[in-house]
A and B are shown apart, each in its own frame.
Chain A
Amino acid sequence: MINAAPSDQPTPLFALRGICRTYGEGQTAVRALIDVNLDISGGELIVLLGPSGSGKSTLLNILGGLDRPSEGAIQFRGAALTGLSEQALTRYRRQHVGFIFQFYNLIPSLTARENVELVGEITDDPLDAAEALELVGLGQRLDHFPSQLSGGEQQRVAVARAIAKRPAVLLCDEPTGALDVKTGVRVLEALQEVNQRYGSTTLIVTHNGDVARMGARVIRFGDGRVRSVETNTARVQPSDLVW
C-alpha cells in the first residue's frame, strides 16, 4: 500500500482513510475504488492520472459530494464529509466546490457572463463575472451564448464559472478531454492561473501523461487503487506541454 506523503500542514484540506467504492453486489460487483488513503493540502494543484476505468472520476465525485464511499471516511477541513445528509452535501458543494466538466455543461440559454453570474447568485462573496472571464482571457466575449463559442472558450467560461464562488477546491474531470492541444493548453493555463492567484486546491483528472507534468503532485491510479504519489520536481508550464 502506498500512502500519500504527509503534507507540512497540520490539518489537510481533505483527509481520506480507507475509501472503497463498490458498484453493485455479489458476482457482478465492480470495485471502483479500493482502500484509498490520501491527504490533500490547501492550494495544491494535483493531477490524478490513470487509464480509463481506474477510478479517477469515482474519487473526484466522492470528493465533490456527489457520491458516497461504500467504506472509509473523508474529512474536509477536519470535519466528516461521510454521513452528511443530501442537503448538507448540497450546501458543501455550494460553498466550497467548483466543478469543471469534460463537456463544459454551460447553460445554453445564458450568455458567458450570465453563466458566471448564475453561480454568483448562490455565493456570499462572488467574484465579479467580468473579472472572472477576464482572468480566463474571455473579457471580449462576455455576451456570447455558449453556442457562439468554441469548445475551448466554453471550457474557459466553465473555469470562470467554477472560480466565481472562490471555491476551496476545484474539481476538473478530463477538462481537456474534448479539446485539441492548442485550446486545451489555454484551459490548463487558465486553471493554473486560478490556482496560483486564488489558491484554490485544484484536482485535474486526466488519462494523458503529458498533462500530468504541470501538476505539483501526480497521483497515479490503476484498477481502483492509488499506485503512486509523486511530487513533481520539474513542473512544466501548460504552454510547454505537448501531446
Chain B
Amino acid sequence: MRALDKKLFRDVWRMRVHALGVALVLACGLSVMVMAVGMRGSMERTRAAYYAERHMADVAVSAVRAPERIAELLEEAPGVETIETRVSGVALLDLPGVSEPPSARLVSLPIEGRPRVNDLTLARGRWPDPARANEVLLSQAFAEANNLVLNDRLDATLHGRRQTLRIVGIANSPEFVFVAAPGELFRQAKRFGVIWMNREALARAYDLDGAFNDAVLLLGRNANQAETIAAIDRILEPYGGIGAYGRDRMVSDRFLSEELRQLSTMAIFLPALFLITAAFLVNIALGRVIATERSNIGLLKAFGYSNAAVAWHYAKSALIFAAIGAFIGSAAGIALGRSVAELYRDYYHFPSLEFSASPATFIGAWAAGFAAALTGCIFSVLKAARLSPAEALTPPRPTTFFSAGPTLSRFEASLDAKSRIIMRRIVRFPRRAGTTALGVAFAIALLVVARTMPAEMDYLLDVNFGVANRQDVSLTFTEARDSTVLHQVERLPGVVYAEPFRLDDVILRHNGRTVHEAVFGVPEHARLSQIVGRGQRVMAAPATGIALARALAQKLGAQLGDEIRLEQTRGRRIATSVRVTAIVEPMIGSSAYMEIAALSRLMREPGRISGAHLRMDTSRYDAFNREIKEIPGIAGVSFVGQAEASMRSEFEQGIGVMNFIYAAFAAIMAGGVAFSAARITLAEQERDLATLRVLGFTRLEVSYILVGELMALALIAIPAGLALGTFLSIWLMQLFQTDMYAFPFVFNPAGYAFAVAFTLGCVGAAAMVVRAGIDKLDMIAVLKARD
C-alpha cells in the first residue's frame, strides 16, 4: 500500500487549492461549533460550580414586612433546607464627579457570619465590620464602570435619608451575575449596581427593625419546588408576600440561560451552512479528480486492487481535506473561545471563566467534518469503485452537451455564442453549478442575517425610545404622591415638560393562571410614555379597562373583553377586577397599561402618581442634578436619553465585531466556492479557451466565458440567498424572542444591497485571480494536444 499512499499525498498536493478551500470552509463552521459548544459547556460548568459554591438560591420571595420570627416558619416549610432573610431596597446614589445620580440595589448582610444563601465572593478588600453601619461592599462591575475603589465614599439616599457609605470591599454574587435596574431590560453597569451592607443599618433605614422584606432559600434534594412556593406564599400572605419564584424568574439567571440558548443556536446554525457547503465542495473537487484519474483507476484495478481499496483510496483524500479543516477549525475555535471567554469574564464577572472545550466537543467537531467530507465524496468514490478496469482504460466518452429545454431555448437563441457556452455548461453540470450557487447564496444569506438582526435591534430601540419612552429623564418617588407634586417638578431647572405616570406592582390572575407584572398608568394622550399598539403605532390609553401586552395576555390566556383579577402587591394591597379592553404590542417588556386616573381610582388613591417623565433642556442637566439630589422622596432618576445613547454605542461596537466576523465568513464561503469552481472550469476548458485565443478572440473575450459563468451563477444565487437570509433572520429572531423582547421582521434594503454587492465582489475577486490563468494559456500546445 505504500506506493498508493505516496500517490495519495501527491493527489492531495495536486488538489491543494481545492483542499485549502474545503478546509477553510470547514474550519469556519467547526471553529464556531467548537467555540459555541465549548463556551456553552464552560459557562454551564462555571455557573453550576459558582452556584453550588456560593449557594445560589433556588427560590426567592419579597414581602412588604415580615417579622423575623416568620423565618422559622419558612424554614420548616416542605422542601426548604436553608433560608436567609434580608432587607432590600433601591437607593439613589450621589457619586463625586458623576452628575447623573445612578442607583443601586441594597441588600443586607446577615448580622453574623456570611450569607448562607447567595453568598458573595470578595474580589478585593474585606467584609464590613458589623459594628460599623457605614461600611459596605460594592458590586465589581459597577465599581469598575465608575472607577470606584476601596475606601471611596459614596452618598446614598435611603428611604429619603441621606447617608454616607464607605466601600470596604468589592464583591460579586451569583444572584447578580447580570445586573439590571428594576424594570430595565438592558444592563448598564455604570448606572446600576449592588451594595451589600449591614442588616441593622439597612433595617433602620427602611424601618424594618426585627423584620425582613426579602428572603432567599435553598431547597433540599427532593423538594418539589411548586409545593414549596405554594407553602411560602401561604406563610407570607399576611405580610405582603408578592409570590415566591424559582430561578426561572430570577433576572440574572434568566439572562444567563438566554445567553446559553443563543450559544446553542449559534452552534447549529452557522456550522450547518458551512458543513453543507464543504460537502458540496468536496463533491466537485473529487468528481474532477476522479474524472482525470480514470486511467489510473483502471491501472490500479488491473494491478489487483479491489474496488473497496480504490474507493477507500479516494475517500482518504477527502478525509485529509476534512482533517486539515478540522485541525484549523479546532485551533481557531479555541482561540475564538478564549477571546469570547474574556469578553464574558469582563461582562459577567464570574469568579473564574476559562474556555475549555471537552474532548467530546472536539470529537463531535471532527466527526462532523469527516461526515461532511464523506457525504461529499460518496458519489464520486462510488463511481470510481464501480468503474471496471477495461472501461477505465479506454478514454472517457466525450462530454455530451445538449440544447436547453423548450422553455430556455428562446432565451438561449437570444444569446451570443460565448454566453451560450456558459449556459450550456451550467445546464450540463447542474451539481457543480448548484454548489457554486449554493455557496454564494449561503454567503448572501449570512450577510443578510448579519445586517437584519442589528436593523431589528435598531428598530426595537427606535420604538422604545421614539414611541414608548420618549422622555429624557424619569423620576420615581419612594411612594405615590399627590399629582400636585408635578408643579414642583416642573419648576426644577431645565424641565420643559412633565408627564405624570403611575406604576403599580400587581399580581394578575385569570383562568387559574397567575402573573406578577407592572401596570403602568399613563395619560390618555401621553406625549412621552406612549402605548405601542399594532404595527408599532401609537395608541391612546384605553378610557376604561386595561390594555395587556400580547405576551402577557397569552400568559394569562386572556382575551379581549375578559374580566381579570388584579392584586396590588404593595401599599394597600387592593384586590379588584378589571376588563381587558385592548391588546397592545410593546416590543420590550410585557406589562399592562391603564389610563392614569382610572388606575389611581382603581387602587383607591385618586390623583396619586408614582413619578414623572420629563422632557429636558439638556444644557441644564447639571443644575437639575444638583437640585434633584437634595429633594427627599425621590427613589430613582433614570436618564433615559443617555441610556439610549450609551446603549446604542455599546450596541454599535458589538455590531462592528459581528459584521466583521460575518463578512469574513461570507468572503471565505463565496470566495472559496467561486475559486474552486473557477479553477475547475478553467482546467476543463483550458483547451477550448486556448483554441478561442488561437482563433483570434482577445483575452477579454475569453475571460468572459470563465468569469461570466461564475457571475451568472452568482446572479442566479441572489434571489435564493436573499430569500434564505430573510427566512433565517425571521427564524433566528423567533428563537431569540422571549417575553421580554418581541421582534417584528425589519426589512433593511441597504443590508440586502450590501449582502449582494459584497458577495458579488468576493466572487468577482476569486474569478479575477483564476482568470489570470487565461493570460498564460499555451496556444501552441493546444494545437497538438488531443482532447
Residues of A whose CB lies within 8 Å of any CB of B are 57, 61, 64, 66-67, 87, 90-91, 93-95, 97, 99, 101-103, 105, 107-111, 114, 117-119, 121-122, 143, 145-148, 161, 165, 173, 178
Known contacts A90-B698, A118-B418, A145-B401, A107 near B783 by CB under 8 Å? no
What is the interface size of chain B, counting residues whose CB is below 8 A from a CB of the partner? 35
Q: Are A110 and B687 in contact (CB under 8 A)?
A: no
A61 and B428 within 8 A (CB)? no
**Contact partners of B481 in chain A: CB under 8 A:** none
Inter-chain CA distance A58–B425, complex, in Å, is 34
- 12 residue pairs A–B, Cβ–Cβ below 8 Å: A57-B784, A66-B780, A94-B697, A99-B694, A105-B687, A107-B692, A108-B398, A108-B688, A110-B401, A117-B417, A118-B418, A121-B417
Q: In the assembled complex, which residues on chain A have CB atoms less than 8 Å from the CB atom of B692?
A: 107, 118
> Does chain A have a CB within 8 A of B693?
yes
Query: How distant is the Cα of A108 from the Cα of B420 in the complex, in angstroms?
Result: 12
Q: A101 with B783: in contact, given A66-B694, A110-B424, A147-B401 (CB under 8 Å)?
A: yes
Are A61's CB and B696's CB within 8 A?
Answer: no
Closest beta carbon of chain A to B536's beta carbon, Å: 54
Give complex CA distance A194, B129 in Å. 112
Q: Establish whether residues B787 and A103, one from each chain, have CB atoms under 8 Å apart when the complex forms.
A: yes
Which one of B424, B697, B787 contacts A109 once the chains associate, using CB atoms below 8 Å?
B424
Which B372-404 residues have C-beta < 8 A from chain A? 397-403
Residues of A within 8 A of B424 (CB): 109-110
- Which chain A residue lies CB-closest to B778? A66
Measured in the bound complex, the distance between the Cα atoms of B554 and A236 in whole Å is 99
Least CB distance from B428 to A in Å reads 7
Interface centre among B416, B417, B420 (most CB of A within 10 A): B417
CA A103 – CA B692 in complex, angstroms? 14
B697 contact from A57, A114, A122, A146, Cβ within 8 A: A122
Contact B417 A61, beta carbon cutoff 8 Å: no
Closest to B400 in A: A147
B694 touches A64 (CB 8 A): yes
Which residue of chain B has the shortest Cβ distance to A98 in the bound complex? Answer: B695
Chain B residue, CB-CB nearest to A117: B417
Q: Which B residue's beta carbon lies closest to that of A146?
A: B398
Q: Is the CB of B400 within 8 A of A118?
A: no
Inside 8 A of A99's CB, which chain B residues have their CB?
Answer: 694-695, 783
Instruction: Say yes or no for B703: interface residue by CB 8 A criterion.
Output: no
Q: Apart from A103-B786, A119-B696, A122-B695, what 10 extra A-B contacts exist at CB < 8 Å?
A: A67-B780, A93-B694, A93-B695, A94-B697, A97-B696, A101-B783, A107-B691, A114-B420, A146-B398, A147-B399
4 smallest CB-CB distances across A and B, nearest first, come from A94-B696, A118-B417, A109-B424, A93-B696
Given A103-B787, A109-B428, A147-B398, are A95 and B421 also a contact pair (CB < 8 Å)? no
Task: Output the least CB separation between B226 and chain A (Å).
Answer: 71
Complex: A122 Cα to B704 Cα, angstroms: 14
Q: For the complex, give the distance between the alpha carbons of A120 and B476 in Å.
A: 84
The residue on A at minimum CB distance from B699 is A90
Least CB distance from B746 to A in Å reads: 44
- Inside 8 A of A95's CB, which chain B residues have their CB? 696
Q: How many A-B contacts if CB must be within 8 Å?
A: 93
Binary A-proximity of B422-452 (CB < 8 A = 1, otherwise 0): 0011001000000000000000000000000
Q: Kindly list chain B residues whose C-beta atoms are within 8 Å of the C-beta of A111.
A: 403
Contact B421 A109 (CB under 8 A): yes
List residues of chain A with CB within 8 A of the CB of B701.
Answer: 122
Contacts of B417 in A (CB 8 A): 110, 114, 117-118, 121
Contact B421 A107 (CB under 8 A): yes
A93 and B402 alpha carbons, distance in the complex (Å): 30
In the complex, the chain A residue whose C-beta lies closest to that of B397 is A147
Task: Determine the chain B residues whose CB is within 8 A of the CB of A143 once the complex forms.
Answer: 403
Among B672-694, those with CB < 8 Å from A are 687-688, 691-694
Distance A142 CA – B397 CA, assembled complex (angstroms): 22
Encode contact with A along B752-787: 1 for CB under 8 Å, 0 otherwise.
Answer: 000000000000000000000000000110111111
Q: Which residues of B contact A101 (CB under 8 A)?
A: 691, 782-783
- Tell me which of A146, A161, A173 has the highest count of chain B C-beta atoms within 10 A of its own C-beta: A146
CA–CA, A161 and B692, complex, Å: 12
On whether A173 and B696 interact (CB within 8 A), knowing A108-B688, A110-B421, A118-B418, the answer reads: no
Known A-B contacts A61-B783, A117-B417; the reply to A108 vs B401 at CB < 8 A is yes
In whole angstroms, what is the CA distance A110 to B685 when docked?
A: 13
Within B582-608, the residues touching A (CB, 8 Å) are none
The docked-state distance in angstroms from the alpha carbon of A97 to that of B701 is 18
Closest-CB distance, A30 to chain B (whole angstroms):
14
Instruction: Tell me the bound Cα distance from A26 to B701 in angstroms.
Output: 38
Within the complex, the shortest CB–CB distance from B414 to chain A, in Å, comes to 13
In the complex, what residues of B have CB within 8 A of residue A161's CB?
695
Smallest distance from the beta carbon of A137 to chain B beta carbons, Å?
Answer: 22
